[in-house]
Amino acid sequence: MSFVFSEVPPTSSVRRQKVRDFLHSVSLDMSEDVEIFVVAKEDDRIVACGGLSGRVLKNIALDESLRGEGLALSLMSELLNVAYREGRQDLFLFTKPDYQEVFESCGFKYIEQSKHQVILLENSYNIDLYKKHLRKYKHTGAVVGSIVMNCNPFTLGHRYLVEQACEHSDWVHLFVVKEDASFFKFEDRLRLIQEGLADIKNLTIHEGSDYIISKATFPTYFIKDKAQIDSIYTELDLNIFRNQLAPQLGITHRYVGNEPLCAVTNEYNQQMKRLLAAPSEFPPIEVVELGRIEYGGEPISASRVRTLMQENRLEEIIPLVPPTTYALIEKMMSKEEA
Amino acid sequence: MSKKLETAHAGTLESSDAFVRVIPVAAKGIEIELESSVEELYGDAIRTLVLETAKAMKIEGVKLIVQDKGALDYVIKARVQTAILRALGEAEPDWSVL
């Protein structure tokens, strides 16, 4: 049996629709963020496909009747060809736990699973390198705290949270979300955090990675119930945190800001409490919700600062952020006007 | 003598073939990462073959990742050579060293 392989670029909507139909036939939803699909055809009929989205391989599916290692390996060869040609070297792959072995034989290594429905693999040993890197920053103590923050941008609200965490802990590890998907660039966010917290002694500021709240770890496609999408993603992220990263640093606590307003984030916080403390072979991590600091009767938040920026109400930002953050905002706004 | 390399690859993951990736690294020398369906029997022989092939082409500062699916040794050698030629951006090999 021979198959004909071809690529479906994002511009080809008719052919993409055919891929979507094929994925539906094997009970998968097409992930709209896939840039390029590789499809295998037999007699003009799609029998297998796989997609590339950034550095993530997903929507990999084979026709039930042809499921055997042969076609899977041919498909993966073609898909890797495309990924490497596009300069994506370190790849991630989402699939169902049943297919772990197939993809391991293509050079991928298991990282973590979520709800026994999805597994994440990578084709490098980067998570091992990252774990080794983290171990260098280990501090022993009865309470070793952790915070994961985007800080888009860094406000006095963030500072208050970190201060509280550091007061309650012997040491605190702060992870800055690395993904450049926010209004403020990663390097700016990181620098503002470093400057805004320079006086706090029992704190390590870490650059985030692909393994903490990143785009590279957002599976959506084989989940039929849309309400589950977030919880599968968050569970995967939390499993990696608890099972892989936290043990390297001896983390005992994770601090989050409470979320009285946003139902989605509040649900995430509640899920975090459950998962990080659930019985497991790994040590439990206690989640502590901290109250938010207010100014003018409203919580100080990054989104409030961004709204004020859009409305060009610069003076009102001054009491919400440290001088270092304000300096950058002023610079950005004056550039815009010029 | 060492030459400037780009990342490159050659081959497939199909049975009796090998998939070879060439990745430039900061460290000197030639690092080999092998996964083979016949690792227990031929792992050492394949590693030696890959290393000798790379050495003959006078490259270093490189990592070679080889996924072998039970390929015969001349197949592995050809895939390694092709991947390295692509990494060097050369169309024609120096036949005398092959």
How much of chain B is in helix, strand and coil states, percent to nearest 5?
A: 40, 25, 35
Which pair of structure tokens corresponds to residue A181?
């998907």
Residue A87: its chain B contacts at CB < 8 A? Answer: 7
Phi, then psi, of A95 in degrees rounded to 5: -155, 180
Single residue among A75, A102, A124 that ends a domain in this structure? A124
CB contact (8 A) between residue A77 and residue B13: yes
pLDDT digits (tens, 9 = 90+) for B36-49: 999 999 999 999 99
- Co-location of A101 and A171 in the same domain: no
A138 and A116 inside one domain: no
Same domain assignment for residues A10 and A92: yes
Contacts with B21 from chain A: Cβ below 8 Å: 84
Per DSSP, the three-state class of A237 is helix
Residue finishing a domain among A91, A124, A157? A124
Same domain, yes or no: A91 and A112 = yes
Choose among B14, B35, B37: nearest Cβ to A74: B14
Helix axes B73-88, B39-56, angle to 10 degrees: 40
pLDDT grade for B1, boundaries at 50, 70 and 90: very low
Domain extent, residue A13, equals 4-124
Query: Is there a single domain that holds both residue A11 and residue A87?
Result: yes
- Which long-range CB contacts under 8 A does A178-186 form with residues at least 24 apart? A178/A207, A178/A208, A178/A209, A178/A210, A178/A212, A178/A214, A179/A208, A179/A213, A179/A214, A179/A215, A181/A215, A182/A150, A182/A152, A183/A152, A183/A306, A184/A151, A184/A152, A184/A153
Locate the chain A residue with the closest alpha carbon to B66.
A107
Helix (H, G, I), strand (E, B) or coil at B20: strand
**What's the domain count of chain A?**
2
Q: Which two tokens stand for residue A130?
A: 């990252």
Q: Is the pLDDT of residue B30 over 90?
A: yes
Cβ contacts of A37 within 8 Å, gap of 6 or more: A7, A8, A16, A19, A49, A50, A51, A52, A59
Share of chain B above pLDDT 90, in %: 82
Same domain, A69 and A170: no
Give how far the C-alpha of residue A214 lies from the chain's centroid of Cα atoms, to the nearest Å.
2
List CB contacts (< 8 A) between B8 and chain A. 84
- Domain end: A124, A157, A188, which one? A124
Q: A93 and A154 share a domain? A: no
Contact B18, B66 (CB under 8 A): yes
- Reading the block at residue A225, the tokens are 């119930």
Q: For chain B, give the number of residues.
A: 98
Same domain, A191 and A245: yes
Distance from CA of B75 to the nearest CA of A (A): 16
Determine the residue of chain B that is closest to A106 in CA distance. B13
Cα→Cα distances A267→A56, A151, A218, A264, A289, Å: 27, 20, 18, 5, 13
Residues of chain A in contact with residue B25, where contact means CB-CB under 8 angstroms, are none
Residue carrying structure tokens 């092959």 = B98
| Predicted local confidence at residue A232, as pLDDT | 78
> Do residue A106 and residue B65 have CB atoms under 8 angstroms apart?
no
Question: For residue A97, is the peptide bond before it cis, meaning its omega torsion is within 30 degrees of 0?
Answer: no
A93 touches A56 (CB < 8 A)? yes
Same domain for A150 and A76, yes or no, is no
Q: Please give the Cα distance from A40 to A50 (Å, whole number).
A: 9
Task: Show the tokens assigned to A233.
Answer: 């993603």
Q: What per-residue confidence (pLDDT) applies to A233?
A: 76
- Which chain A residues contact residue B11 at CB under 8 A? 77
Mutation choice for A interface testing from B6, B9, B13, B34 by most A CBs within 10 A: B13
In chain B, what are the domains? 8-90 (3.30.230.10)
Q: Quick one: pLDDT at residue A35?
A: 92
CA distance B52 to chain A (A): 23
> Residue A217's pLDDT is what?
65
- Overall residue count recorded for chain A in this entry: 338
Give the pLDDT of residue A289: 93
Q: A73 vs B13: CB contact, 8 Å cut-off?
A: yes
Long-range pairs of A69-73 with CB within 8 A, sequence gap ≥ 24: A69/A102, A69/A105, A70/B14, A70/B15, A71/A3, A71/A40, A71/A47, A72/A48, A72/A99, A72/A102, A73/A102, A73/A105, A73/A106, A73/B12, A73/B13, A73/B14, A73/B15, A73/B69
Residues A221 and A329 in one domain: yes
Q: What DSSP string describes A41-100?
A: EETTEEEEEEEEETTEEEEEEE-GGG-SHHHHHHHHHHHHHHHHHTT--S-EEEE-GGGH
pLDDT at B93: 79
End-to-end CA separation in angstroms for chain B: 17
CATH number, position A296: 3.40.50.620
Q: Determine whether the interchain pair A73/B9 forms a contact, defined as Cβ–Cβ distance below 8 Å.
A: no
Q: Can you give the pLDDT at residue A222?
A: 34
Say yes or no: A224 and A308 in one domain.
yes
Mean pLDDT of B54-63: 94
Look up the CATH number of the domain holding residue A86: 3.40.630.30
Q: So what's the pLDDT on residue A221?
A: 29
Among the residues of chain B, which ranges form H helices? Answer: 39-56, 73-88
B59: confidence class by pLDDT, cuts 50, 70, 90: very high
DSSP 8-state code for residue B15: T
Q: Report chain A (338 residues): mean pLDDT per 10 consecutive residues.
A: 88 94 91 91 94 93 82 94 94 92 92 89 93 96 94 94 96 92 90 96 94 69 44 85 96 90 75 92 94 91 92 94 95 80
Q: Are residues A135 and A120 in the same domain?
A: no
DSSP state of B57: T
CA atoms A110, A111, A114, A119: torsion sign: negative
